[in-house]
Amino acid sequence: MDRFNERVEFDVPMAGHTSLRVGGPADALATPADTYELTGLLAMLIKTGVPWFVLGGGTNLLVRDSGIRGVVISLRPGFSDIAAVDSDQDAVAVHAGAGARLSALCRYALANNLAGMNFALGIPGSVGGAVIMNAGTENGAIESVLSSIEVLHVPDQKEIICRRALLFNYRGLVWDSSIIAKSGYEPIVLAASFELAPADPRTQAAEAETLRARRKQRQPAGFSAGCVFKNPSADAPAGYLIDQAGLKGTRIGDAQVSEVHANFIVNLGRAGATDILRLMDIVREKVLHEYGVELEPEIRTVGESKEK
């Protein structure tokens, strides 16, 4: 790890790298500058048997209080480029590194009068994380504008995979078994290409302002990880069920079911992952008891499962 110099840190509290502001320490946090460093790091980790975890924007993530064993790999800032790579009269191909902020991609589209990304305005996180989670809103999802992804088959084989070869479901990219079989590991998304369209700047700006205002009104400020649970159906979304169960404002320590949007859990300042997990259990049990619906988490929980 010495060759990474300042690009590796040890015993790094993950609370500083997640939007919930909770999480114990990772044994190490590495930020490779390019694919060469990334492949070298992965080869070393495989050889030594050290586990790793690829961190996106930390926005759809709950890290347990005991932290993460092994190496957390962040693709920011080494994989954060955004640029138009091809265009014609009807379409513009925009390439974005996996470490780029999704918000930066949205701003790029607006600044260059390109339609297609406004649905993602206000969605936090990275481009790579957005692809893996098929991030979206009622106005659209990543799968609808994605044209291809560049992946790394661990430890060192790159491949471009076209959209038609990818299977998406609600809030997720499902890797085909033949893709995983190439290395025995899930591929690491390095970059994504999006097919956007030239648009009238005034129309784009007006639409963006409307969507931002709507999102600001509907969603709470503060430390959160976005929607905690997947919507079981369009007719009875998770937030509605949690609200109807009378759970808005319910607290465990400083973890609280938002009073603005019931499918958000906010950290009021000093919450731990254990508080949030207990609150999630309370919500799931109450909704199951009241409505017979078992809520499935949308946020990902990682790290040591047993507190030290």
Q: Residue 155: what pLDDT?
A: 95
Q: Is 298 a catalytic residue?
A: yes
Buried b or exposed e, range 244-275, using 16+ CB within 10 angstroms:
ebebbebebbbbbbbeebbbbbbbeeebbbbb
Residue intervals in the chain for CATH 3.30.43.10: 2-74
Predicted confidence band of residue 88 (pLDDT cuts 50, 70, 90)? confident
Identified catalytic residue from 64, 150, 227, 284: 227
Q: Residue 171: what pLDDT?
A: 87
What is the percent of the chain with per-residue pLDDT over 70, rounded to a whole number? 97
Q: pTM value?
A: 0.93
**Torsion on CA atoms 155, 157, 162, 167, rounded to nearest 10:** -30
Peptide bond into 124 cis (omega under 30): no
pLDDT tops 70 at residue 4:
no
Question: Is 3.30.70.890 the CATH number for 2-74?
Answer: no
Residue intervals in the chain for CATH 3.30.465.10: 82-218
Domain 82-218: state its class. Answer: alpha beta
Predicted confidence band of residue 308 (pLDDT cuts 50, 70, 90)? very low
Q: Residue 190: what pLDDT?
A: 98
| Contact between residue 194 and residue 91 where contact means Cβ atoms under 8 Å apart | no
Q: Is 171 a catalytic residue?
A: yes
| Contact between residue 232 and residue 295 where contact means Cβ atoms under 8 Å apart | yes
What is the average pLDDT across 212-232?
A: 91
Q: Residue 101: what pLDDT?
A: 97
Q: What is the pLDDT of residues 253-279, one digit of tens each?
A: 999 999 999 999 999 999 999 999 999
Identified catalytic residue from 171, 215, 251, 300: 171
Identified catalytic residue from 101, 106, 150, 298: 298
Which CATH number applies to 223-302?
Answer: 3.90.78.10
Q: Is 207 a catalytic residue?
A: no
Answer with the residue of higher pLDDT: 70 or 216: 70
